[in-house]
Each structure stands twice: as C-alpha cells, then as structure tokens.
Amino acid sequence: MTLAVRVIPCLDVDAGRVVKGVNFVDLRDAGDPVEMARVYDAAGADELTFLDITASSGDRSTTYDMVGQAAEQVFIPLTVGGGVRTTGDVDRLLRAGADKVGINTAAIARPEVIGEISQRFGNQVLVLSVDARRAPDQPSGFEVTTHGGRQSAGIDAVEWVRRASELGAGEILLNSMDADGTKQGFDLEMIRAVRGVTQVPLIASGGAGKLEHFPPAVEAGADAVLAASVFHFGSLTIQDVKDTLRAAGHTVR
C-alpha cells in the first residue's frame, strides 16, 4: 500500500504572530496563527506544524493557550515544536491539543529524552526536527545546527538521524538551513542521504518556491513536504501542490 504524500504548512511563530524570513532572519509578519490554522484546515492541508522559533534561544516555553485555541479550530493533526525539553513539556502540549510534538535542541543536548518521550507517549508522538546545513568537515557533508540555525551542533546530520531513529524518534522533520526561505528548491541530496539511514517517515522542509520543486523531494525519499512562505503569502495553494504531486504519479489525499 502506498501512503499518501502529506502536504504540511508550517507556521513559524514569534511573540504570538506567524513570521517568515530567509534563514530565520529578516522576519516578516504573516498573520494570526489561530486564524491561519483555520484557513489551512479549510484549504485541505493534511497536517499543520507550529514552531515557536524563539522558544529555545529565548528560553521560554511554547505558548500553550495558542495551541489550545488552534486545536479547537482545526481537525487535522497538529505538530508543535519549540522549547520542548522534557516529557512534562510533551504532556502539557498534548493536553493543550497537540497531536505530535517536535523536539530539536533538547534532544541534541540529551539524546535519552527521545527514548523517554517515545516510551511514555508512543513514538508516533515524537517528531525530531533536524535543522541541517552543508558542512564539508562532516562525514556525510551535512551538520546539525541549533537555536534556529544560529549555532553548529558539531555533529553529523545523517548519523544523528540514524541514531535518533534507533532511540525512538517516530518521524524526522528535515529542514535545510541553506535552502530555507530561498525558494530555490529542496536539498535533494540531503533528503536522499537521510532516507538512506532511516525507515521512519521523513518530512522535507526548506526551499520550496515553485510547484515543480515538490515532486523531486518525494522522489528523493520524502513522505511529506512542508512549506511556509509560499503558502502564507499566497504564491502557491495546498491544492496546487497536491495537483502537481498527483500529476507526477504520487498518491495524495
């Protein structure tokens, strides 16, 4: 059975507003997150990802009330990330209405938290967010970054995905920091490299700019495609992307 390719808008939230920039800088305001979640649900999004982009660097928890309001408005799976450090944080987010929880910086600092979360809640709840960029000094040619791409973690991105999958990550959100916000296309080489070391579902993120960018990401190994600014500012619609994937021979919902 071929699983349908999921199309996922990402809401990068800073101080209660959806923002979008290039490589996480020069942020532009794109709207109210709860209202945008409702619009995307109606537009046929398969899931929504909600990232509090300054939660780890600003050291504050994700805004639970905003998650709760969004969960009341939408009827598709909601993944929430940003500032998640412990099983307690995951518990609070799930109670607030999240279906899945994204973790990045805290898992790098203490990989055991991956197993703790997946054992307590099931690995389907845990999305490992990997913000990776090209790094010639790493064996795979890709390194992991933290704090919204501002700091190198000094570890190989492909090896990290392999290890995290073994520890219990249920899904990988692979974001190319080099491509993020550039609209030049997904990093297909990175997607292929990561697909080669894990069987868990893989979400490709970073670089979507045109409809023709989406099918190659799936052909490189992605199970889902994620984008932000092209959806927020209306240059592409969810339906356009699904039609393009379908025309390229992929199953969509």
Q: Which of 131, 156, 180, 187 is catalytic?
A: 131
Beta bridge partners of 18: 13, 31
Angle of helix 64-73 versus helix 33-42 axis, rounded to 10: 30
From CA 230, how far away is CA 238, in angstroms rounded?
10
> Is residue 12 annotated as part of the catalytic site, yes or no?
yes
Residue type, 175: N
Please choose, from the candidates 14, 68, 9, 65, the residue with its C-alpha nearest in 3D space to the C-alpha of residue 36. Answer: 9
* Strand-pair category, 78-81 with 48-52: parallel
Please choose, from the candidates 168, 178, 213, 176, the residue with its C-alpha nearest in 3D space to the C-alpha of residue 193. Answer: 176
Q: Which of 12, 41, 46, 156 is catalytic?
A: 12
**With contact defined as beta carbons under 8 Å apart, do 108 and 83 qualify?**
no
DSSP, res 212: G
From CA 94, how far away is CA 89, in angstroms rounded?
9
From CA 150, how far away is CA 139, in angstroms rounded?
21
Beta bridge partners of 19: 29
List, by residue number, the catalytic residues.
12, 131
